[in-house]
Structure 1
């Protein structure tokens, strides 16, 4: 076996199948385009207005579809051909982006058109991402879901978090429309790559005679009736609230408490992404050697310790290693929690349960951000870290024993069905 073949086999084991490789290729490609937009989108908005309200509204226009249409998107993923749904929604994204590029090139762009385009792109992305998240359990055996999710996370970290934003800013400076043109190509290429995936054609369920509202209610009832999966959802809400509280004022904490400049603040995200790369690279080895319940307890304990350390530190030279540490354990947790959920949830409920989880993530972040701002306003920029430390510590203490059941939620599901 040649060195190149060995690298490919290590990163994309043959046992995961050719379709998995097409899915990863699509995910990495579209993540690069999305990473470009992370920088180019706000820069485009800022080029049209410096009104803080409109700038915030533009950011919300991209995020709002998850809160409004997330449950519907999950239900549709459980009603339709998931591969075709991903292709259709990504094609719709490419069309909207191509239209935005055309308008930018004519010089007729304005803030309202940008906000409308971002809302439509965000809407299509909700449906595409909801369906994409259900494809992996259809392609990979349950024992391999952890390593498969880790490989997808590598693309997210490198393309979306590290390379994409930096490239997006540079390319935007060269030409306002260029990053969106490249993103259009990336999304369109993603459609082609997804088309190569060999899933069973047709809807997940052979006969669908219910209304979408009934499907959503059925999915919520399934989650509510499965104690391990339900508890995991509550853990995600609680930890996203405590995480988002200090994160909402991270820029103020870095400038005022730690004494960083603007460039130094930007490097915090880079340190986190680099830690995430290490965590995802080691994930397969860690999952094989550490019992799942022990691994879940360890990474959540790391979160508690991280909040305490950030509350105490006043030096940027301590903040950067801490952010690296955060990225390493946080992406292990993200990969692990997703694999645990995917193993436990039946195939026909993957879309609906996944959409409820996304609402937990988004809702927790929204609530935590609001709390963080209020706490920092009243007690200073370090106070949200103390809130996060106490809140995450109490949450972990309450669910410590339940984590053993959560880690093996798939076995609980099998027993419930039997």
Structure 2
């Protein structure tokens, strides 16, 4: 099986895929054990939520800066170094837990450092992947990565993390530290070299050799920033690799390129709003399950499993769906699924209806992620892939943070189902606005 996969997508991809699978299991273990560790120290819900917030905060603070350094540095080496450092941070936490010397400040610091590492390693991994496979294989490669993320992070690792914590509070964090070190070793075996920067005089077209002036009217011509001509339409851009400018200038280059690409700009805005709409109701999902569906904690776990099963199906079917229907139909259909999901959850009191729509929603979210990742990796020039990817991640995480805050406030002020109705209405508006621009995806 291993030889077959390596032959199809290449040995380098197989190493990255295995590294991703291992680290995703570790991430899931810590995601389950982290709140349990905080809860063992204090019963304050705000303190438990603080650990999650500490890991998300770096995406808001430094994601754009991280994208600059992903484009400046050797991406493979960056992933290796960051994984080693994250492993060491978790080893310190595990040792503190084992010695009964752990404290809330230490947990917050370690989780913040893990978040900093995520902004660098995840962005670098996303930018490195296209160098390991052919362009026509990106959909398959992304779907395989998504399948291991769903299976390892969402389905297998969560119960494993809880079990390890029950056996010994230090074990899950030691296990996660080990997964980071294993992932670093696997990534070090990847031999794909990062393309070297070349002088501006040696312009290399990324997608097609047609000059910008022949494709965009002079009055609407995109500014060439850091050697990258960002399209003001849906057509490919021509890239020029240049010497690095200042950090601020390079950040602006990534933002400007994304903003001037109609399809990718639409996708970024859609995901920002969609994450607000998603995280608002799902921030109170546990209470919704108890109060609206009249289910116990076991029922809550079953619904989350239904979401994971749908995600696993989406990762498996995504390449076929893209080949059969095309990106525009999948993206438009995904927006409709978002509207229907929030409306059904708002209206139903039947657990089976909620479970069924969550399976469909899980399939959609993973398929959407694979489709969008493939579009980004094909459209964005290599020299800007880190910065543009970090802008997209910044918008996503920012939307999630806003949504989580709003959902709790809305549910507290009105009813437990109001966030779902608000989300459905918001996605109706998003669908109407994005429908035409997504035609060109």
Paired residues of 1:248 and 1:373 also in contact (CA < 8 A): yes
Paired residues of 2:94 and 2:170 also in contact (CA < 8 A): yes
The partner residue of 1:378 within 413, 419, 422 is 413
Q: Which segment is superposed worse, 370-379 or 133-142?
A: 370-379
Q: Which segment is superposed worse, 283-292 or 161-170?
A: 283-292
What is the distance in 1 between the residues matched to 2:53 and 2:355?
A: 29
The partner residue of 1:188 within 177, 181, 194 is 181
Alignment match, 2:379 = 344
Query: Deviation of residue 201 (structure 1)?
Result: 4.9
Paired residues of 2:20 and 2:145 also in contact (CA < 8 A): yes
Paired residues of 1:90 and 1:125 also in contact (CA < 8 A): no
Alignment match, 2:68 = 75
Paired residues of 1:94 and 1:187 also in contact (CA < 8 A): yes
Paired residues of 2:341 and 2:357 also in contact (CA < 8 A): yes
Query: Deviation of residue 55 (structure 1)?
Result: 2.1
The partner residue of 1:93 within 75, 86, 107 is 86
Q: SS state of the match for residue 72, structure 2?
A: coil
**What is the TM-score normalised by the length of structure 1?**
0.92
Alignment match, 1:174 = 167
Alignment match, 2:344 = 309
Structure 2 gaps, min length 5: 199-240
2:13 is equivalent to residue 20 of structure 1? yes
Q: Summarize deviations over 1:108-140 as a string: whole Å, max 9, x none.
A: 111211111111222122211111111112222
The partner residue of 1:113 within 99, 106, 120 is 106
Q: Which segment is superposed worse, 183-192 or 136-145?
A: 136-145
Query: Deviation of residue 52 (structure 1)?
Result: 2.6
Structure 1 gaps, min length 5: 408-418
Pairwise mapping of residues 272-311 of structure 1 onto structure 2 (< 5 A)? 272-311=307-346
**What is the TM-score normalised by the length of structure 2?**
0.87
Structure number having the greater helix percentage: 1
Alignment match, 2:269 = 234
Q: SS state of the match for residue 57, structure 1?
A: helix
What is the distance in 1 between the residues matched to 2:396 and 2:171?
A: 32
Q: Summarize deviations over 1:157-188 as a string: whole Å, max 9, x none.
A: 11111110100100111011111111111110
Alignment match, 1:214 = 249
Q: Which segment is superposed worse, 196-205 or 300-309?
A: 196-205
Q: Which segment is superposed worse, 255-264 or 194-203?
A: 194-203
What is the distance in 1 between the residues matched to 2:159 and 2:398?
A: 28
Query: Deviation of residue 237 (structure 1)?
Result: 1.1
What is the distance in 2 between the residues matched to 1:63 and 1:86?
A: 19
Paired residues of 2:84 and 2:180 also in contact (CA < 8 A): yes
What is the distance in 1 between the residues matched to 2:126 and 2:74?
A: 13
Q: Summarize deviations over 1:290-315 as a string: whole Å, max 9, x none.
A: 12211211122111111111111101
Which segments of structure 1 move beyond 3 Å, counting only runs of 4 or more?
201-209
Count of matched residue pairs: 399
What is the distance in 1 between the residues matched to 2:111 and 2:401?
A: 19
What is the distance in 2 between the residues matched to 1:324 and 1:207?
A: 46
What is the distance in 2 between the residues matched to 1:364 and 1:273?
A: 22
Pairwise mapping of residues 312-391 of structure 1 onto structure 2 (< 5 A)? 312-391=347-426
Query: Deviation of residue 51 (structure 1)?
Result: 2.2
2:150 is equivalent to residue 157 of structure 1? yes
2:286 is equivalent to residue 251 of structure 1? yes
Q: SS state of the match for residue 78, structure 1?
A: helix
